[in-house]
C-alpha cells in the first residue's frame, strides 16, 4: 500500500520518462558489411499525466521509433525508459505483459491495423481475451459497450474491415485500444489516412475520450494544425533528435529553432495564396548525418560552431521550453 504522500509524488511525476534514449539499427550494406544507423539519439522526453504531447517532424526523423520504444515494441540501444515509476528499459516480455494493458497504440492506417480476416467483434475482443480470458456473454457485453462508446452501431459487430469506411475502422481500432482501460495511448498519425471531414470527427472524439478517461496521449503527426488543436505540449524532431520542446501554443505560434520555424512556414495556409519554400534541400540521410548540428546544411543562421559542435537541448526562450540551437543560445535568434 502506498501512502497518500507517495501517491501525491507519483501523481506529479510524469507517466512516461525517457532519459537519453538512443536506438540504432543495423543495416546491411552489401554482402559482408553492416553499418549502424541511429534512428533516435539521446532523446529526453517526459509525458506528464493527463496531457497530450505532440511529436512532430518529417518522415525519417524518428518519431515513430520513439513511439515504439515507449511501448517497448523496440528495445532501446541506450538510455532508460520509465513507465509509471517502473523501469521498462530491459523488462522481458513476460514482465511487460501486465503493463501492456496500460499502454496502447493507435496506428496511422486503420485498414492495415485490423486483421482482414477478423470481424470488428473479434478485433475488439482480442485484448479482453488475451489479458483477462474473458469469454461468453460477458465478453459480448463488454465489446458491445465499447462499440457504443466509440459510436459504432451494433450492426457493425460482425462486419469485416473491408465492409467498413475508414472512419469506422479507426473507431474499431480506438475501441480495441480502450478495451483494457489504458493510461497511455500512443497515436501514430491517427488521422492522416482519413478524409478531412472524418478527421474532424475523430479528433473531436479523441479529445473527449482523453478528458473523459484522464488519458495521457503521445500524439505523433506531421500535421501541425492537428497537433496544435489536440496537444498541450509539443516536441519537434529532426534526424533522430528533439530540437525544440515546449507548450504547443508557444512552439507552434513562435518557434525558436530554425527548423521548427521552417516547418511551420512550409505549411500551406488556407487563406493566403502562394507558398514560399521555407528551407531548401531535403532532410539528410540518417546513414551519414551532418557533423555538428544536423540542420546546419539547410540553416540560414548556421555559423562555424554549428558545423562542428552539436548543440544540447537546453532551456531557452521564456524558460518554458527547451531548444537545441547555438543561435538561440547565443541570442542570435
Partner 1 sequence: MSLLEIADYRLAFDTFDGTHHVLDGIDLALDAGETLGIVGETGCGKSVLAKSLLRLNECPPARVVSGAIRFKDQDLLTLDARAMRSLRGRAIAMVFQDPASFLNPVLGIGAQMTDAICGQDGAQPGGRRRSRREAARMAAELLASVGLPEPERILASYPHQLSGGMRQRVLIAMALAGKPALLVADEPTTALDVTVQAQVLALISDLVRSRGLALILISHDLGVISAACARVAVMYAGTIVEEAPTQALLAAPYHPYARGLIGAVPDLDRPGSRPRGIPGSIPSLLFPPSGCRFHPRCPRASGRCGVEKPLLRGIAPGRRVACHHPEGA
Partner 2 sequence: MAPPATAVPADGLPAQPAPRAPQPATGSARAWRLALWLLSRSFSSMLGLALVLFIVTLALLGPWIVPYPADAEGAINLLNKLEPPSAAHWFGTDEVGRDILTRVILGTRVSLLAGLAITLAATAIGAPLGVLAGYSGGRLRETIMRITDMFLSVPGLVLSLAIVAALGPGIGNAVIALIIVWWPGYVRLAESKTLAIKEEPYVEAARVVGASRARILFRHVLPNCLSPLIVKMSMDVGQAILAVASLGFIGLGARPPEPEWGAMISVARTYMPDWWWYAVAPGAFIYVSVLGFNLLGDGLRDILDPRSHRG
CB of 119 to partner 2, least distance (A): 10
Q: Sketch the per residue contact string, 207 through 246, with partner 1: x for CB under 8 A, - otherwise.
A: ---------------xxxxx-xx-----------------
CB of 37 to partner 1, least distance (A): 16
Choose among partner 1, partner 2, none what residue 146 binds, the Cβ cut-off being 5 to 8 Å by kind. none
CB 322 within 8 Å of CB 43:
no
Q: Which residues pair with 245 in a beta bridge?
A: 235, 322
- The residue behind cell 514560399 is 276
Determine which residue in the list 249, 309, 312, 320 makes contact with partner 1, applying CB under 8 A. Answer: 249
Helix (H/G/I), strand (E/B), else coil: 84: coil
Q: Which is nearer to partner 2, 132 or 232 (CB)?
A: 132
Choose among partner 1, partner 2, none what residue 112 binds, the Cβ cut-off being 5 to 8 Å by kind. partner 2
Q: Which is nearer to partner 1, 81 or 230 (CB)?
A: 230
Q: 10 Å Cβ neighbour count for 278?
A: 16
> Which among 209, 175, 196, 317 is positioned nearest to 260, based on CA atoms?
317
Determine which residue in the list 4, 277, 319, 331 makes contact with partner 1, applying CB under 8 A. Answer: 277
CB of 73 to partner 2, least distance (A): 6
Determine which residue in the list 158, 269, 307, 332 makes contact with partner 1, applying CB under 8 A. Answer: 269
Q: 10 Å Cβ neighbour count for 280?
A: 9
Q: Which is nearer to partner 1, 60 or 292 (CB)?
A: 60
Q: Which is nearer to partner 1, 105 or 164 (CB)?
A: 164
Q: Which is nearer to partner 2, 29 or 117 (CB)?
A: 117
Determine which residue in the list 271, 288, 319, 331 makes contact with partner 1, applying CB under 8 A. Answer: 271
> Which among 263, 258, 280, 322 is positioned nearest to 58, based on CA atoms?
263
DSSP state for residue 11 in the 8-state scheme: H
Choose among partner 2, partner 1, none what residue 107 binds, the Cβ cut-off being 5 to 8 Å by kind. partner 2
Distance of alpha carbon 57 from alpha carbon 259, whole angstroms: 9
> To 10 degrees, the CA torsion angle through 216, 221, 223, 228?
20
Q: Which is nearer to partner 1, 34 or 285 (CB)?
A: 285
Give all strands of the β-sheet with 86-87 in edge-to-edge order. Answer: 33-47, 16-29, 78-83, 86-87
Residues within the interface to partner 2 (CB under 8 A): 71, 73, 96-97, 100-101, 103-105, 107-109, 112-118, 126-127, 130-131, 159, 162-163, 173, 176, 179-180
Distance of alpha carbon 135 from alpha carbon 177, whole angstroms: 18
Q: Which is nearer to partner 1, 94 or 270 (CB)?
A: 270
CB of 105 to partner 2, least distance (A): 5
* Exposed e or buried b per residue across 255-264, where buried means at least 16 C-beta atoms within 10 angstroms of its C-beta: bbbbbbbbbb
Q: Which is nearer to partner 2, 189 or 245 (CB)?
A: 189
Q: If binding is defined by CB under 8 A, does position 262 make contact with partner 1? A: yes
Distance of alpha carbon 115 from alpha carbon 314, whole angstroms: 44
Residue 272 gets the label, from left (phi > 0), alpha (psi -120 to 50) or beta, of beta
Q: Considering only 18-26, 94-102, 165-173, 321-329, which stretch makes contact with partner 1 by CB under 8 A?
A: 165-173
> Which among 19, 22, 21, 28 is positioned nearest to 287, based on CA atoms?
28
Q: If binding is defined by CB under 8 A, does position 263 make contact with partner 1? A: yes
Interface of this chain with partner 1, residues 58 to 97, rule: CB under 8 A: 58-59
Angle, nearest 10°, between helix axes 166-178 and 136-149? 120
Residues lying near partner 1 in the complex (CB under 8 A): 58-59, 165-168, 195-204, 222-226, 228-229, 249, 252-253, 262-280, 282-283
Amino acid at each position: 500500500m502506498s501512502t497518500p504522500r507517495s501517491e501525491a509524488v507519483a501523481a506529479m511525476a510524469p507517466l512516461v520518462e525517457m532519459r537519453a534514449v538512443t536506438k540504432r539499427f543495423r543495416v546491411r550494406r552489401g554482402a559482408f558489411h553492416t553499418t549502424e544507423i541511429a534512428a533516435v539519439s539521446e532523446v529526453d522526453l517526459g509525458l506528464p499525466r493527463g496531457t497530450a504531447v505532440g511529436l512532430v517532424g518529417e518522415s525519417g526523423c524518428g518519431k515513430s521509433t520513439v513511439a515504439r520504444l515507449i511501448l517497448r515494441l523496440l528495445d532501446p540501444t541506450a538510455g532508460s525508459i520509465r513507465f509509471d515509476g517502473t523501469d521498462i528499459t530491459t523488462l522481458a516480455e513476460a514482465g511487460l505483459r501486465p503493463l501492456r494493458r496500460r499502454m496502447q497504440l493507435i496506428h496511422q492506417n486503420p485498414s492495415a491495423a485490423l486483421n482482414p480476416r477478423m470481424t470488428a467483434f473479434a478485433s475488439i475482443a482480442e485484448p479482453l481475451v488475451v489479458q483477462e480470458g474473458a469469454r461468453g456473454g460477458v465478453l459480448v457485453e463488454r465489446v458491445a459497450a465499447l462499440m457504443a462508446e466509440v459510436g459504432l452501431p451494433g450492426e457493425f459487430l460482425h462486419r469485416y474491415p473491408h465492409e467498413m469506411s475508414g472512419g469506422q475502422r479507426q473507431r474499431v481500432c480506438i475501441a480495441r485500444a480502450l478495451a483494457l482501460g489504458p493510461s497511455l495511448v500512443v497515436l501514430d498519425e491517427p488521422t492522416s489516412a482519413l478524409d478531412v471531414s472524418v478527421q474532424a470527427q475523430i479528433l473531436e472524439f479523441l479529445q473527449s475520450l482523453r478528458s473523459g478517461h484522464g488519458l495521457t496521449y503521445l500524439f505523433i503527426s506531421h500535421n501541425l494544425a492537428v497537433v496544435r488543436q489536440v496537444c498541450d505540449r509539443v516536441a519537434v524532431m529532426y534526424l533522430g533528435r528533439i530540437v525544440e520542446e515546449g507548450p504547443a501554443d508557444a512552439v507552434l505560434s513562435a518557434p525558436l529553432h530554425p527548423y521548427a520555424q521552417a516547418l511551420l512556414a512550409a505549411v500551406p495556409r488556407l487563406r493566403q495564396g502562394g507558398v514560399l519554400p521555407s528551407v531548401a534541400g531535403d532532410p539528410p540521410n540518417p546513414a551519414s548525418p551532418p557533423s555538428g548540428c544536423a540542420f546546419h546544411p539547410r540553416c540560414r543562421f548556421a555559423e562555424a560552431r554549428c558545423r562542428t559542435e552539436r548543440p544540447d537541448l537546453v532551456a531557452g526562450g521564456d524558460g518554458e521550453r527547451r531548444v537545441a540551437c547555438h543561435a538561440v543560445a547565443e541570442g542570435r535568434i
